Chains A and B, each alone.
Chain A
Amino acid sequence: MNLKALNLTKKYSATTAVDSATVTLEPGRIYGLLGPNGSGKSTFMKLAAGLVHPTSGEIRIMDEPLSEQSRAHVVYMPTEAYFYGYMTVCQVGQFHTDFYADFSADSYQKLVTDMGLDMDMKVSSLSSGMSAKLKLAAAAARSAQIIMLDEPLNGIDLIARDVIMSAIIQIANENNTLLLSSHLIDVMESLLDEVIFIKQGRITMQGNAEAMRAEHGKSIVDIYKEVFAS
């Protein structure tokens, strides 16, 4: 497996953001981490990226305990714009070239051009849609084993949404694992091989998307409504 979380718990004083989550993510699959706002999706991803430390439990990346070396195999694209404002689009690429051996500057340049961005643009001057495209270009230009995209469609207009969706499809291959979180489940559903429902920090349901549809006789959207409306 590419990622394994075992009884993973994260508490912030009185709040439990992730509660005893046990998940195994296999290569060659696209996982949807689905849940309403505040359900613990982002915290789970941050735990797996090493930005947040677990209160208890364990995360293993490529069969090794999470460490700074694991970050070489992990892409985490947060929902917020997170590149340094002083940088240009070109410097963002240079930064990734400097720190990630799996980063392809050529792919990045192509993605940036395809997404209508200019290498000389300053990060601080980008609109939210442009920032989202830049984040995705930087994430997609890496050939990491685990790619976690947190709400990749946040702040994206309908036209750009197609660009992002096709970029996500292009990232996926038989060696890597994609973990996508989104509240736009109707848009994402067609991409997902596996789904993980998370509610108040607890994994309430997980499994193969096709099998779930067959078992419940409903779409993932309808199952989601059923799980989270109750």
Chain B
Amino acid sequence: MIKLMKYELLRRKQLLIGALLAILVLEGITVYAIYQGGNWNVLAILLTFLLVIGTMLLPILNTVTKLYADFKQKQGYMLFLTPQSGYKILWTKTIYGAIEILAAILLVAGCLFLSGFAVDHFQGNAVSSMLASMQQEMGPISLGSAGFVYVLLIFLQMLAQLSIAMLAVTVSRSIMPATNYGWLIALLMYFAFVIGVNIVNGVLLLAFGLGGDIIQIAQNNIADIGGMIAKYLTVGAVTYLLWFVGCTVLSGRLVNKNVDL
């Protein structure tokens, strides 16, 4: 698996270096805009959105398009002729994607921290005051641990999205190997899968008592709101993890048994 990962990294090396440079440039401009203040703040906000969304989407798009290219183009022969199972190849791609997602989250966190520090430094502790007031609102729940749980959930959700997208590509390749519109079919299939996954997730949350808890909140009858939130976050986290594993295993099985190159 390590060897397969090595070639995934080599394959994306140039794109990753380019993306890293672009992120650094964007963050540099953002910090400069914060330093200037006034109308420049609009630019800083826009660039921060661009940076966060772009950086978070890149690993998923990168992993999925590389898998699609391996199925669609002859270069895929090089990979799929190796004495490695479909499971191993799919898991390698997914785990590599997961590592990229984690790196992207850390990079975004670093950029946001830097921007926050710049705002504090140049615009009168605006971020610190906002965080302090948030902490006050949250009572006994530590802002740091809440932030960590939130980031962890984002990470798990992105993993699930990645494996759902990879499953969509694999299924579309299995059922329509010769079409030129494989990417469109995969995209439509991805949206269909996401809708299906969200319905199942919703049903699961209801099964864990979400409906009743919402009524309790509306009636102000909840004594331990922290415990309730923790319960649903745990359900969410486990569900995302299950989707991640399930979709990757299914993709691997399809590659082993059904996908023709």
Q: Which residues of A contact B (CB under 8 A)?
A: 12, 46, 49-53, 68-72, 76, 78, 80-87, 91, 95, 98-100
Minimum CB–CB distance for A159 against chain B, Å: 26
Type the 1/0 row for B171-188, where 1 means its CB is closer than 8 Å to any CB of A. Answer: 000000110000000000
Q: Which residues of B contact A (CB under 8 A)?
A: 3, 6-7, 10-11, 13-14, 74-78, 80-86, 177-178, 256-261
Minimum CB–CB distance for A8 against chain B, Å: 14
A95–B78 contact, CB under 8 A?
yes
B81–A51 contact, CB under 8 A?
yes
Partner among A12, A71, A80 whose Cβ is within 8 Å of the Cβ of B81: A71
9 sample A-B contacts, Cβ–Cβ < 8 Å, listed by A number: A12-B177, A50-B80, A51-B80, A69-B83, A82-B77, A84-B7, A85-B75, A91-B10, A99-B83
* B residues in contact with A50, CB < 8 Å: 80-81
Minimum CB–CB distance for B178 against chain A, Å: 7
A12–B178 contact, CB under 8 A?
yes
With both beta carbons as reference points, the residue of chain B lying nearest to A99 in the complex is identified as B82
B11–A71 contact, CB under 8 A?
no
A53–B258 contact, CB under 8 A?
yes
Number of cross-chain contacts by CB at 8 Å? 64
A46–B260 CA distance with the chains assembled, in angstroms: 9
A81–B74 contact, CB under 8 A?
yes
* B residues in contact with A91, CB < 8 Å: 10
- Given A84-B11, A100-B83, A51:B261 Cβ within 8 A: yes
- Given A52-B261, A53-B258, A53-B260, A84:B78 Cβ within 8 A: yes
Minimum CB–CB distance for B259 against chain A, Å: 8
* B residues in contact with A52, CB < 8 Å: 260-261
A69–B261 CA distance with the chains assembled, in angstroms: 18
A82–B74 contact, CB under 8 A?
yes
B10–A86 contact, CB under 8 A?
yes
Partner among A76, A83, A84, A99 whose Cβ is within 8 Å of the Cβ of B84: A99
With both beta carbons as reference points, the residue of chain A lying nearest to B2 in the complex is identified as A98
* B residues in contact with A84, CB < 8 Å: 7, 11, 75, 78
A80–B74 contact, CB under 8 A?
yes
Please give 12 more A-B residue pairs, beta carbons under 8 A apart, in addition to A83-B75, A95-B7.
A51-B81, A51-B260, A53-B259, A68-B83, A71-B82, A76-B77, A81-B74, A84-B11, A84-B78, A85-B75, A86-B14, A100-B82
With both beta carbons as reference points, the residue of chain B lying nearest to A75 in the complex is identified as B81
A80–B261 CA distance with the chains assembled, in angstroms: 13
Minimum CB–CB distance for A141 against chain B, Å: 15
B77–A78 contact, CB under 8 A?
yes
A206–B55 CA distance with the chains assembled, in angstroms: 58
With both beta carbons as reference points, the residue of chain A lying nearest to B178 in the complex is identified as A12
B84–A51 contact, CB under 8 A?
no
The 3 nearest A-B residue pairs measured at CB: A72-B83, A82-B74, A71-B83
A92–B257 CA distance with the chains assembled, in angstroms: 27
* B residues in contact with A70, CB < 8 Å: 83
* B residues in contact with A68, CB < 8 Å: 83-86, 256
Minimum CB–CB distance for B89 against chain A, Å: 9
- Given A72-B83, A86-B10, A98-B3, A53:B257 Cβ within 8 A: yes
A12–B176 CA distance with the chains assembled, in angstroms: 10
